[in-house]
């Protein structure tokens, strides 16, 4: 019963993280100095109350826990839905009346997002995948990677998945937490669409800036 | 007009079932969908075949007995009950697929007839106000603000047909459950049991093997009584409040 | 006529207390024996039907601690046909301070029933009406309210006070859901055992007492025997004998008819209420008729073309070629004459060939003037939902083209005879709601059906059945009890017979033909000649049915054709009794209009000297002469008058 609330709350944490992450990414336009300082600052945040990288690890733990809870709840609900209409009791013809494409792609879209996050961490955090060359400077990692068209393309696809996931996810989290009230449904949906567009576009600006040579 | 029907035939609960094709000729556009099935059944009977079983009773859109999935949409192309759908919504030569509500919680009994007893059990779990006969104070003892009364009424118009479950990609019965929670929760008479009611009803809903709600909204879109989707959010508010204030899961 | 029935000994309601009318219910409650709460759980009650009268009784008796077993043929008790009542429920609350009182509701109901109901019963109904509203509000029934938070009322059915409580156009639904929830609460508590998709097919009478029922599980086909210390029938009315009516498709007379065959007297079967504002028949495939609220007559004008056979578009027919016949014949009441007068007038103009629409069975209900006078938005606000319903069913836009309406069978005032305790002539068999005959006389007022159903179930039966149960529990029985075995065998034999005929006609084709006979000869206007013809044709058709009906499938499955066949078989027998009753009552009263008994102006003419009685019929065998027992009606409080609406 609390599964859906857990899903909504962890989803909300992840959305807040994404917004912060996107904001940080935009620092790339400040040049190598600014970007690398921001990156280093993330590790020093909270010192001396916290050890070096202390805040970052707290955040990583919270994020990982959120992802795990989110995924666990999602899989449980997915299985419940499958049980609720088991094989042999499916429709021969089924049409949707109003459902959004976003709601349709929630589950497999979520899987795509998870795979992307792993790829993304290996790419820009640990740098184990380093198309265009590895570097100790986060700024250079970004620039090296996104000069290659297919790297940008892979991020475009992944961020589209993220965008759709957010579009339904934000709306659904609000509804699950009891925030949908008479007359408010339309505006909630507009806000969810707007926010997911902002996040998707915000994340896509730096890769395209690199690809188009605006950031070198 | 002439119509080709592909109808789900299933002899009993344990039978596998299949789609069977029938031709129905001379269909009048003024016939209701169920009257068109009556015509088919008369013909099947005279030909010595078993007529198609389907639930129906009042045929004026209020009892909630009828309901089939027509071309993939619960109650068909108009937002109303199957008995209030008329053949003028179709064209000569159309092929129409007719299937029962499909959900584990609604097992097929025969052809298009399903067992919706799960809904009654959700009501048994707490969908009432405990007011034994004879214990009531004067009806005017407790005024109810009109806005609350109207909202309670909107939720109370649910006819328990099950279209919400049939349409939901998760086969969730949350709109039905939420309608009752909202109806009773909006009224002052419903307050003493409000916190416990929502928990008990949602627990029963889950035990009946309905799926969970993921706020897709297909339920409200097919609801013949137009129960709005935010009713489910109202249930969620009550549920979280109730769990937070220590009501047992 | 005596060849059709035999007159037997008069009958009297022994339970009604004497004395001032306002004290009688108190007196009866005091004189009725009580059952100690500890003993209640040893006593069992079977209740058939879960509409307002059945669900409320089951919930209330369950709360009291009796062991209740409840049956309904629907898949859920919530779907009983009480759910379809639109208008409202009367109660003498006098919340409007407009001069209403228990006495006025009593008076209006006796007069509305055309002086063919019992004063004691009606007075009790009016008394109890007040408690019903309190009970329903406490259960969470969302009645319409005003901005101040108090309950709204409206005036209904031509009465001069506002005493009708309503929940938009879905009052029946909301009241039934309230009773259903109370019932489900008792099911959860274990005091009521509910059997859905079960149909009662026989009554078990042992040593002269009703002791149980034979039911068929409509899913498995199993024939089950259930025993109890008392049996309550709350199985509704029999309007479906006409095939087309506003009743639900499954409504039937089987439960009450089976009880009638076992000795319960059937009272006033000919009293049928025909509602003037229904959507007309559009073709012979039509399966049911839909009522539209009578409130439409407040602003709509009813007319037909002056010339027979004028099939022009109604908008092309000029004003001077229209006949606003109600306004012409009844200048003071106009379009607002009572239901039966409006219905009969529509039939008359259609008989003259001036009817409109398919088959010439319809009259126009025109809102063009109302739209001109009030403006489109005002009409929309007041009648929008009704117009939408009309448009959905007919595909015509009533804002542009006048609506077509025609009368349809709506309610049956007759039913099993019961005494003041709601007990039939079989001890231990109680009958509530539309299934009994008790409170409406020859005609029911608008918004009174819901009142009676709930009065019986919540307040009357639970205070009278104890008088009978106090002498229980009775001897315990099992399936080998000869009477039970015999009843179960009879049910099986009948089912086997229906399945084995294997003729050439479907059940529906018989039902439709029976409906036509009844509508033509025992409908809005009845005559000696027509009724005799009807009886003859019903008998022929019944014989043909048993030789030529085709029921496919087996008993051991969900078999809707078999269910219908059993019900139609009982309708045949009932139809004959209705015609005999209508034939013997050579007067017009309420929902019974005899062509031979009318005033010079064509108004219903009662003959109080001869017919101020309840006609209670005893069954003697299929096609045999029934025995008529008369219960005299005496009026101490209300003076008998002929009504006039000129």
Q: How close is the nearest chain B Cα to the Cα of A41, in Å?
A: 38
Tell the residue number behind the tokens 């659904």, with chain if given.
Answer: A172
Cross-chain residue pair B132–C63, CB shorter than 8 Å? yes
What pLDDT score does A46 carry?
86
Provide the number of structural domains found in chain B.
2
Answer whether B184 sits within 8 Å of C395, measured CB to CB.
no
Please indicate, yes or no, whether residues B221 and B177 belong to a single structural domain of this protein: yes
Q: Which one of B103, B151, B233 has the shortest CB-CB distance to A180?
A: B233
Confirm whether C344 is a catalytic residue.
Answer: no
Which residue in C168, C401, C169, C409 sits closest to C278, CA to CA?
C409
The alpha carbon of residue B199 is apart from the nearest alpha carbon of chain C, in Å, by: 16
DSSP secondary structure string, A40-66? Answer: HHHHHTTTTTS-TTHHHHHHHHHHHHH
Compute the nearest-CA separation of B216 from chain C (Å). 28
Q: Identify the sign of the CA torsion C345, C351, C355, C361.
A: positive
Question: With an 8 Å Cβ cutoff, are A176 and B221 in contact?
Answer: no
pLDDT score of B208 more than 90: yes
Whether B96 and B147 map to the same domain: the answer is no
Cβ pairs bridging B and C (under 8 Å): 213
Contact, B35 vs B19, CB < 8 A?
Answer: no
Structure token digits, residue B121: 């059990």
Distance CA C233, CA C262 (A): 14
The separation between CA A176 and the C-alpha centre of its own chain, rounded to angstroms, equals: 20
Do residue B133 and residue C459 have CB atoms under 8 angstroms apart? yes
Contact C207, C230 (CB under 8 A): no
Beta strand C44-48 pairing with C6-7: unpaired
Report the side by side order of strands in the sheet with C223-227.
C198-206, C209-217, C223-227
Contact B59 C249 (CB under 8 A): yes
Confidence of residue C288 (pLDDT cuts 50, 70, 90): very high
Q: Count the neighbouring beta carbons within 10 Å of the beta carbon of residue C256.
A: 31
- From B99's Cα to the closest Cα of chain A, the distance in A is 7
Write out pLDDT tens, residues C200-235: 999 999 999 999 999 999 999 999 999 999 999 999
Phi then psi for residue C247, to 5 deg, are -70, 160
Peptide bond connecting A48 to the previous residue in cis, omega within 30 degrees of 0: yes
CB–CB of B233/A183 below 8 Å? no
Contact B195, B245 (CB under 8 A): yes
**In a shared domain, residues B54 and B163:** no
Cα gap C629→C616, rounded to integer Å: 5
Q: How confident is the model at residue C2 (pLDDT cuts 50, 70, 90)?
A: low
The catalytic position among C79, C104, C211, C339 is: C339
Partner-chain contact B214 A1, CB within 8 Å: no
Cα B46 from chain centroid?
Answer: 33
Nearest to A162 by CA among A121, A210, A102, A207: A102
Give the C-alpha separation, C68 to C186, whole Å. 9
What is the Cα–Cα distance from C206 to C471, expressed in whole angstroms?
Answer: 15
Minimal Cβ distance to B116: which of C76, C83, C557: C76
Q: Which residues contact C527 (CB under 8 A, 6 or more apart)?
A: C521, C594, C595, C596
- What burial letters (b/e) apply to C413-441, b meaning 16+ CB within 10 Å? bbbbbbbbbbbbbbbbbbbbbbbbbbbbb
The partner residue sitting opposite A85, judged by closest CB among B102, B233, B236, is B102
Average pLDDT, chain B: 96
Which of chain C's residues have a Cβ under 8 Å away from the Cβ of B30? 282-283, 394-395
- Find chain A residues with C-beta within 8 A of B211's C-beta: 77, 80-81, 83-85
| Distance between A176 CA and the closest CA of chain B, angstroms | 6
Q: Which chains touch B (3 or more CB pairs under 8 A)?
A: A, C
Q: Name the residue in chain C with its Cα closest to that of B43.
A: C506
Task: Quote the CA–CA distance of C561 and B45 in Å, as a whole number.
Answer: 9
Do B75 and B20 share a structural domain?
Answer: yes
Q: Using the beta-carbon criterion (under 8 Å), do B149 and C145 form an inter-chain contact?
A: yes
- Identify the pLDDT of residue C333: 83
Do the Cβ atoms of B170 and A77 come within 8 Å? yes
pLDDT at B249 over 60: no
Q: Nearest-CA neighbor of C97 among C170, C158, C136, C150? A: C150
* CATH code of the domain in which B76 resides: 3.10.20.30
Q: Which of B195, B233, B247 to mutate to test the interface with A (most CBs of A within 10 A)?
A: B233
- ipTM score of complex: 0.97
Against chain C, the chains showing at least 3 CB pairs within 8 Å are: B
- Look at residue C644 and tell me whether its pLDDT is greater than 80: no
Chain C residues whose CB is inside 8 A of the B184 CB are 140
| Of A77, A81, A91, Cβ closest to residue B69 | A91
B233 domain residue, yes or no: yes
In this structure, the answer to whether residues B88 and B202 fall within a common structural domain is no
Is B26 a domain residue? yes
Percentage of chain A beyond pLDDT 70 is 100
Question: So what's the pLDDT on residue C642?
Answer: 81
How does strand C266-267 pair with strand C415-416? antiparallel
The verdict on B14 and B102 lying in the same domain is yes
Question: What percentage of chain C has pLDDT greater than the value 90?
Answer: 88
Specify if B91 maps to a domain: yes
Contact B131 C139 (CB under 8 A): yes
Strands (E), B31-121: 69-70, 73-74, 95-99, 108-110, 113-114
Please compute the mean of the pLDDT values over residues B94-104 and round it to a whole number.
98
pLDDT 10s digits, C231-273:
999 999 999 999 999 999 999 999 999 999 999 999 999 999 9
* Cβ-based neighbour number of residue B26 at 10 Å: 10
Contacts of B11 in chain C (CB under 8 A): 557
- Give C-chain residues touching B197 at CB under 8 angstroms: none
Cβ distance of A97 and B222 shorter than 8 Å: yes
B149 pLDDT more than 70: yes
B212 closest CB neighbour out of A80, A94, A96:
A80
pLDDT score of B81 more than 70: yes
For residues B93 and B122, state if they share a domain: no
DSSP strand pairing (C230-233 vs C549-550) = unpaired
Q: What is the pLDDT of residues A1-50, one digit of tens each?
A: 688 999 999 999 999 999 999 999 999 999 999 999 999 999 998 888 89
What is the pLDDT at residue A132?
A: 87
pLDDT value at A140 more than 60: yes
Range of the domain at B192: 116-132+142-244
By percentage, how much of chain C surpasses pLDDT 70?
99
Looking up tokens 């298009």 gives B112
B143 touches chain C (CB under 8 A): yes
Cβ neighbours of C146 in B, within 8 Å: 146
CB B236 within 8 A of CB A1: no
| SS3 track for C392-451 | HHHCCCCCCCCEEEEEEEEEECCEECCCCCCECCCCCEEECHHHECCCCCCCCCCCCHHH
Q: What is the pLDDT of residues C156-197, one digit of tens each?
A: 776 889 999 999 889 999 999 999 999 999 999 999 999 999
Check whether residue B104 and residue B120 sit in a common domain: no
Confidence of residue C1 (pLDDT cuts 50, 70, 90): low
pLDDT per residue as tens digits for the range A141-163: 999 999 999 999 999 999 999 99
Kindly state the tokens that stand for B238: 């009550």
Given a contact cutoff of 8 angstroms between Cβ atoms, the answer to whether C345 and C355 are in contact is: no
B137 assigned to some structural domain = no
List of E strands, C263-367:
266-267, 272-278, 301-305, 322-323, 363-366
The tens digit of pLDDT for each residue in A191-209 reads 999 999 999 999 999 999 9
CA–CA dist C229, A51 (Å, integer) = 81
Given pLDDT bands bounded at 50, 70 and 90, which one contains residue C293?
confident
User: What pLDDT, on a 0 to 100 scale, did the predictor assign at position B28?
Assistant: 96
B178 shares a domain with B98? no
Task: Verify that B33 and B148 share a domain, yes or no.
Answer: no
pLDDT tens digits for range C547-602: 999 999 999 999 999 999 999 999 999 999 999 999 999 999 999 999 999 988 77
- The token pair at C545 is 């049915």
Q: Which helix (H) or strand (E) holds B23?
A: strand B18-24
Q: pLDDT per residue over C473-516, tens digit each?
A: 999 999 999 999 999 999 999 999 999 999 999 999 999 999 99
B215/A171 touch (CB, cutoff 8 Å), yes or no: yes
Q: How many residues does chain C have?
A: 646
Q: How far is B89 from chain A (nearest CA, A)?
A: 16
How far off is chain C from B214, nearest CA to CA, in Å?
Answer: 28
Q: Is the pLDDT of residue B214 over 80?
A: yes
Which among C26, C77, C48 is positioned nearest to C230, based on CA atoms? C48
> Which stretch of DSSP H or E encloses residue B174?
helix B174-185
Q: What does the pLDDT average to over C85-98?
A: 94
B101 and B162 fall within a common domain: no
Residue B127 belongs to domain with CATH number: 1.10.1060.10
Domains within chain C, CATH numbers bracketed: 275-410 (3.90.700.10), 482-608 (1.20.58.100)
Report chain C's mean pLDDT, rounded to a whole number: 95
Partners of A106 on chain B (C-beta within 8 Å) are 214
Q: Which residues of B touch C278 (CB under 8 A)?
A: none
**pLDDT tens figures, C397-456:** 999 999 999 999 999 999 999 999 999 999 999 999 999 998 999 999 889 999 999 999
Q: Which residue of A has its CA nearest to B168?
A: A96
Q: CA–CA distance from A170 to each of A165, B205, C62 (Å)?
A: 8, 25, 48
Residue C285 CA, distance from chain mean position: 24
Yes or no, beta carbons of A182 and B228 under 8 Å apart: yes
Yes or no, beta carbons of B211 and A83 under 8 Å apart: yes
B in contact with C (at least 3 C-beta pairs within 8 A): yes
Same domain, B105 and B120: no
- Do you find a cis peptide bond into C473, omega within 30 degrees of 0? yes
Do B and A make contact via 3 or more CB pairs under 8 A? The reply is yes
């Amino acid at each position: 019963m609390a599964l859906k609330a857990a899903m909504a709350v962890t989803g909300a944490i992840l959305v807040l993280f994404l917004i912060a992450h996107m904001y940080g990414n935009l620092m790339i336009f400040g040049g190598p100095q600014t970007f690398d300082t921001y990156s280093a600052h993330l590790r020093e945040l909270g010192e001396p109350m916290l050890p070096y990288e202390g805040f970052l690890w707290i955040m990583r733990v919270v994020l990982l826990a959120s992802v795990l809870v989110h995924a666990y709840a999602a899989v449980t609900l997915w299985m419940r839905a499958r049980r609720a209409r088991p094989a042999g009791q499916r429709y021969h013809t089924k049409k949707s009346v109003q459902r959004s494409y976003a709601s349709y792609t929630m589950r497999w879209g979520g899987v795509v997002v998870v795979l992307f996050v792993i790829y993304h961490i290996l790419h820009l955090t640990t740098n184990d995948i380093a198309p265009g060359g590895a570097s100790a400077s986060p700024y250079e990692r970004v620039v090296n990677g996104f000069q290659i068209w297919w790297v940008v393309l892979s991020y475009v696809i992944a961020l589209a998945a993220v965008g759709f996931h957010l579009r339904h996810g934000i709306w659904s989290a609000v509804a699950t937490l009891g925030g949908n009230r008479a007359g408010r449904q339309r505006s909630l949906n507009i806000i969810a669409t707007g926010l997911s567009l902002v996040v998707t576009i915000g994340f896509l600006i730096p890769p395209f800036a690199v690809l188009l040579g605006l950031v070198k | 007009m002439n119509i080709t029907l592909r109808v789900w035939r299933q002899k009993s609960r344990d039978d596998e079932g299949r789609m069977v094709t029938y031709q129905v000729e001379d269909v009048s556009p003024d016939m209701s969908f169920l009257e068109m099935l009556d015509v088919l059944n008369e013909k099947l009977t005279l030909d010595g075949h078993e007529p198609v079983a389907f639930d129906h009773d009042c045929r004026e859109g209020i009892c909630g007995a009828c309901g089939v999935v027509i071309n993939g949409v619960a109650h068909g192309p108009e937002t109303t009950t199957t008995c209030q759908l008329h053949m003028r919504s179709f064209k000569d030569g159309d092929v129409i697929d007719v299937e029962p509500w499909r959900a584990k919680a609604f097992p097929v009994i025969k052809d298009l007839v399903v067992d919706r007893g799960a809904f009654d059990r959700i009501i048994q779990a707490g969908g009432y106000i405990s007011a034994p006969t004879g214990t009531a104070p004067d009806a005017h003892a407790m005024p109810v603000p009109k806005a609350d009364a109207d909202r309670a009424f909107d939720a109370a118009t649910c006819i328990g047909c099950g279209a919400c479950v049939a349409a939901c990609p998760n086969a969730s019965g949350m709109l039905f459950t939420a309608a009752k929670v909202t109806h009773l929760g909006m009224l002052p008479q419903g307050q003493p049991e409000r916190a416990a009611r929502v928990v008990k009803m949602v627990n029963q809903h889950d035990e009946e093997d309905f799926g969970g709600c993921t706020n897709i909204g297909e339920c409200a879109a097919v609801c013949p009584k137009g129960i709005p989707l935010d009713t489910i959010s109202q249930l969620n508010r009550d549920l979280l409040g109730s769990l937070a204030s220590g009501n047992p899961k | 006529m005596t060849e059709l029935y035999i007159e037997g000994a008069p009958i009297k309601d022994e339970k009604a207390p004497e004395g001032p009318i306002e004290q009688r219910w108190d007196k009866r409650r005091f004189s009725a024996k009580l059952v100690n709460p500890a003993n209640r759980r040893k006593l069992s009650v079977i209740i058939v039907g879960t509409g307002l009268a059945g669900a409320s009784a089951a919930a209330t008796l369950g709360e009291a601690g009796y062991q209740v077993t409840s049956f309904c043929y629907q898949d859920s008790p919530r779907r009983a046909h009480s759910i379809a009542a639109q208008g409202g429920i009367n109660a003498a609350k006098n919340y409007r301070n407009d001069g209403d009182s228990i006495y006025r509701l009593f008076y209006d109901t006796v007069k509305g029933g055309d002086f063919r109901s019992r004063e004691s019963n009606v007075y009790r109904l009016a008394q109890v009406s007040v408690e019903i509203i309190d009970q329903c509000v406490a259960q969470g029934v969302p009645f319409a309210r005003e901005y101040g938070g108090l309950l709204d009322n409206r005036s209904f059915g031509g009465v001069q006070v506002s005493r009708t409580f309503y929940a938009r156009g879905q009052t029946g639904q909301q009241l039934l859901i309230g009773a259903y929830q109370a019932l489900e609460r008792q099911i959860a508590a274990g005091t009521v055992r509910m059997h859905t998709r079960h149909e009662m097919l026989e009554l078990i009478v042992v040593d002269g007492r009703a002791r149980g029922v034979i039911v068929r599980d409509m899913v498995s086909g199993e024939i089950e025997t259930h025993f109890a210390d008392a049996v309550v029938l709350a199985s509704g009315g029999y309007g479906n004998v006409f095939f087309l009516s506003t009743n639900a498709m499954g409504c039937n007379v089987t439960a009450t008819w089976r009880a009638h065959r076992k000795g319960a007297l059937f009272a006033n079967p000919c009293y049928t209420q025909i509602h003037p504002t229904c959507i007309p028949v559009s073709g012979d495939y039509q399966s049911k008729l839909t009522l539209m609220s009578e409130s439409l007559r407040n602003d709509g004008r009813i007319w037909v073309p002056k010339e027979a056979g004028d099939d022009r578009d109604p908008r092309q027919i000029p004003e001077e070629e229209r006949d606003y016949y109600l306004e012409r014949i009844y200048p003071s009441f106009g379009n607002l004459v009572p239901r039966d007068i409006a219905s009969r007038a529509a039939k008359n103009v259609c008989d003259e060939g001036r009817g409109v629409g398919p088959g010439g069975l319809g009259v126009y209900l025109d809102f063009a003037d109302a739209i001109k006078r009030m403006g489109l938005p005002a009409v929309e606000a007041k009648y929008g939902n009704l117009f939408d319903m009309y448009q959905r069913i007919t595909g015509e836009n009533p804002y542009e083209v006048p609506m077509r309406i025609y009368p349809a069978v709506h309610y049956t005032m007759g039913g099993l005879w019961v005494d003041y305790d709601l007990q039939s002539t079989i001890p231990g068999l109680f009958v509530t709601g539309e299934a009994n005959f008790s409170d409406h006389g020859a005609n029911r007022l608008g918004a009174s059906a819901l009142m009676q159903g709930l009065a019986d179930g919540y307040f009357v039966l639970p205070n009278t059945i104890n008088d009978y149960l106090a002498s229980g529990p009775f001897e315990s029985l099992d399936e080998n009890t000869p009477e039970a075995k015999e009843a179960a065998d009879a049910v099986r034999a009948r089912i086997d017979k229906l399945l084995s005929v294997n003729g050439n006609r479907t059940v529906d084709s018989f039902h439709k033909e029976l409906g036509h006979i009844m509508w033509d000869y025992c409908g809005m206007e009845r005559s000696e000649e027509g009724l005799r013809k009807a009886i003859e044709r019903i008998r022929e058709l019944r014989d043909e049915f048993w030789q030529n009906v085709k029921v496919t499938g087996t008993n051991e499955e969900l078999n809707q054709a078999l269910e219908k066949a059993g019900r139609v078989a009982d309708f045949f027998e009932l139809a004959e009794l209705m015609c005999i009753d209508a034939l013997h009552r050579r007067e017009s009263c309420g929902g019974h209009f005899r062509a031979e008994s009318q005033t010079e102006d064509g108004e219903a003419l009662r003959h109080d000297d001869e017919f101020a009685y309840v006609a209670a019929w005893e069954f003697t065998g299929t096609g045999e002469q029934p025995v008529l027992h008369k219960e005299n009606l005496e009026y101490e409080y209300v003076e008998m008058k002929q009504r006039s609406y000129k």
